[in-house]
Structure 1
Amino acid sequence: MQYRAVSRGESWDGGLAGSVLVHDVRDARGAVCVAKGRVLNLDDVARLRTAPWQELHVAALAPDDMHEDDAGPRLACAAAGGGVRVGERSAGHWPLIAARRGIVDIAIDPLAEVNGREGLSVYTLFHGHVVDEGEVVARAKITPFAVPRGLVEGAVGVARAAGGLVRVRAFRRARVGAVVLTSLGERQATNIARFGESLGEKVSWLGGELLPPIVSETRRDAVTSALRAELGRGCDVLVVAGTRAMDELDPTFLALADLGGQRVRQGVPAHPGSLFWIARVGTVPVLGLPSCGLFSEATVFDLVLPRILCGDAIGAAELAGLGHGGFLTRDMAFRFPPYRRSRRRGEVAD
């Protein structure tokens, strides 16, 4: 683009048609009569004749320039991967919207490569963010009023080669089993029922099905039978509540050994939920809930379960990685699923 200033005079309107207006022009009442960014046509030029301006700034498009009205949607469509749709332009940007509930995947290196082209911008939520259908996950923007076509096409090629710069992976329809130890009810009789309600709401929001929880006596043989029964139902994930995570002789750990299970990690670098543990029996992950996460409070469990229900394999390395951002204060609530619109992210019933 080539910019020029136009002063009012007898021949000021010559050659304006086809140029881009760089700023708003207002009429005598102060209302915008010709908006900035507009490619001027003869009707616009006629309106400008009656407006009280003294100097116009316009830009002439080069033959290979793409106006933002064309470049923006092209960049946005290329940036949108699976599970993402392009919304209507708003305030100079094109929103990329989650077409389904799931986890946001960002192609981080290709995103940086696209944004390295001055004049083009795609900005996103964090990689791994849990979103509901309809949430804006990213935006695409063309900063100037027009950019060279080759610049746009290069960025489009990068985005398409990556399968889109932002995707939303859907949760799979998983069956979640649960074993609740009677020790959980020793503090308060209603705890066991409250736990089932809380976990059921979370699993349902994540697209899964919670099998009826099994209540087990806190004995090695009883816990072994309960775990075996849930595994026999064909659960994809198994949750255990009521263990003493720091006791190596806790009946749950002994029962897991009896079933040939292996513990992946005991304790994680995150709070609340630092006593969370994960084991595996065959291909089924077994998750031990910390006491703080048994009911409505969001913990590290609410970071791990969505990933598992999206098909991620969570091992010791992934759990160790939770330390970055693992100080889960109120300001970090954005990391949790929005189970209820009426509450903070990560929270369900009291």
Structure 2
Amino acid sequence: MKLMKTEEAVGQILCHDITQIIRGVTKDAVFRKGHVIREEDIPVLLSVGKDHIYIWENHENMLHENEAAQILCDICRNDHMRPSEVKEGKIELSAECAGLFKVDSERLKAVNSLGEMMIAARHGDVPVKAGDKLAGTRIIPLVIEKEKMERAKETAGEKPIFELMPYLKKKAGIVTTGNEVFYGRIEDTFTPVIREKLSEYDVEVIGHEVCSDDHEQITAAIRKLLDAGADLILCTGGMSVDPDDRTPLAIRNTGARIVTYGAPVLPGAMFLLAYYGDRHIPVMGLPGCVMYARRTVFDLVLPRIMAGEVLEKQDLDRLGEGGLCLSCPVCTFPNCGFGK
């Protein structure tokens, strides 16, 4: 790359895009990388402030920003992300399908620390829809050392820094507990909320059992749904510390492995997560807040369960920072700080 006067650049090849910015009208390239400069282009280049122009010269140890941008993009994306056209050393990634967006924060930080390149992304562990923007990558200078891009590849390792996990199809069983519902004293207003949230995913509800506060009855209902082929069990009610709230005991008595009873999230502190059997079938105990609060711990955990993640206690523990829903008058979840 060499710098020369614009008036003397006729016949030379541009080594980068030339952007024109007219406030309120346009911000786009008037000339693209590789354009051969003509006599009539000179006034246009001068009008966008280019008294001097960078001309491309091949160098065996250097990469043009667009070539390097492709390398940076490749170390970021997995199979379910669509890259934009490279433009001025920048490539953006968008989702090709609905799913759970994952970020390896340590490797992302390590690549960004190399300098002369950047990767910016939305938070990880969030649900995204097809077409959503996920990340952007850019090379800062017009040319960059090949060796530096090799270091970026080594730093990132063999796996992509980002992963988009498509949602799985699941068969769900719902267990509603509580004497007040079982004996018809009040209407079950919890189950409709659960069905509505499940409708956002590819879920078939194959059974709904209504139980009293008898923990043996609840255990039997869970096992019945498991035997029917459910690969997701949701239990509503009976999750507080009151002596007659027996759902956690009932879940434990199925033989399921309890991951956590309690989560650092508000609303949702009394949440329970367990896994049943070798197939790691999720069994969740949902606190009453899921019925009346717009967003709760259930909204943070369900996308990860639907993407096939097997969560451990430390995954729930990390939710403490960002685990306070601010109950905004207009809810923008997941485009907010809740759970991040």
TM-score by length of 2: 0.79
Instruction: Provide the C-alpha distance between the structure 2 equivalents of 1:120 and 1:89, rounded to a whole number of angstroms.
Output: 14
Counterpart in the other structure of 2:63: 66
Question: In structure 2, what is the Cα distance between the partners aligned to 1:262 and 1:157?
Answer: 39
Q: Which runs of 5+ in 2 are unaligned?
A: none
Post-superposition Cα deviations, 1:279-304, rounded to whole Å, max 9, x if no partner, equal 44444332111111125621011112
Quote how far apart the aligned CAs of 1:114 are. Answer: 2.7
CA positional deviation for 1:16: 6.7
Residue number in structure 2 paired with 1:297: 294
| 8 Å contact kept, 1:77–1:86 | no
Alignment of 1:241 onto 2:236? yes
2:162 paired with 1:166: yes
TM norm structure 1:
0.77
| Aligned with 2:204 (options 184, 209, 222) | 209
Amino acid aligned to 1:130: P
Distance 2:17 2:312 in 1: 54
Mapped to 1, the partners of 2:244 and 2:292 lie a distance apart of 25
Instruction: Note the alpha carbon deviations across 1:153-194, whole angstroms, 9 max, x for none.
Output: 4434554x33222110122222221101244649x97852x4
Match of 1:87 in 2: 84
1:196 to 185, 191, 199: 191
Equivalent runs, 1:91-130 vs 2, <5 Å: 93-130=90-127
Is the 8 Å Cα contact of residues 204 and 210 (structure 1) preserved in structure 2? no
Shift of 1:31: 9.8
Moved more, 62-71 or 262-271: 62-71
Structure 2 SS opposite 1:112:
helix
Q: Tell me the distance in 1 between the aligned counterparts of 2:45 and 2:260.
A: 71
Q: Are 1:315 and 2:309 counterparts?
A: no
Count of matched residue pairs = 329
Q: Which amino acid aligns with 2:220?
A: S
Query: For 1:4-83, what aligned pairs fall within 5 Å after superposition?
Result: 6=5, 12-13=7-8, 17-20=12-15, 35=30, 38-39=33-34, 41-43=36-38, 45-48=39-42, 56-64=51-59, 65-83=62-80
1:180-228 Cα distance to aligned partner (Å, 9 max, x none): 1244649x97852x43333223224233322232112232343233222
Q: How far apart, CA to CA, are the structure 1 residues paired with 2:94 and 2:262?
A: 36
| One-letter amino acid of the structure 2 residue matched with residue 168 of structure 1 | L
Q: Does 1:306 align with 2:300?
A: no
2:15, 2:54 within 8 Å by CA — same for their partners in 1? yes
Question: How far off is 1:68 after superposition?
Answer: 3.0
Return closer, same or farther for 1:23/1:101 CA change in 2, 3 Å cut-off: closer
- The residue number in structure 2 matching 1:141 is 138
Residue 143 of structure 1: CA displacement? 2.4
Opposite residue 293 of structure 1, the aligned amino acid is: V
| Contact 1:80 1:166 (C-alpha < 8 Å) held by counterparts | yes
Structure 2 CA distance for aligned equivalents of residues 227 and 32 of structure 1: 59
Aligned partners of 1:201, 1:118: CA distance in 2, in Å?
Answer: 46
Per-residue CA distance 1:82-114 (angstroms, 9 max, x = gap): 321212356863211112221112233332333
3-state SS in 2 of match to 1:152: helix
Cα RMSD (Å) of the superposition? 3.8
Deviates more, 1:244-253 or 1:321-330: 244-253
Q: Runs of 5+ in structure 1 lacking a partner?
A: 339-343
Amino acid at match of 1:165: I
Please give the alpha-carbon distance, in whole angstroms, between the structure 1 residues aligned to 2:224 and 2:144.
Answer: 63
Q: Give % identity.
A: 23
Structure 2 CA distance for aligned equivalents of residues 225 and 83 of structure 1: 40
Question: Any conservation in 2 of the 1:83–1:99 contact (CA below 8 Å)?
Answer: yes
Q: Equivalent residue for 1:341?
A: none
Whole-angstrom CA distance in 2 between matches of 1:309 and 1:37: 43
* Structure 2: distance between partners of 1:92 and 1:284: 45
Aligned CA distance change for structure 1 residues 285 and 245 (closer, same or farther; 3 Å): farther
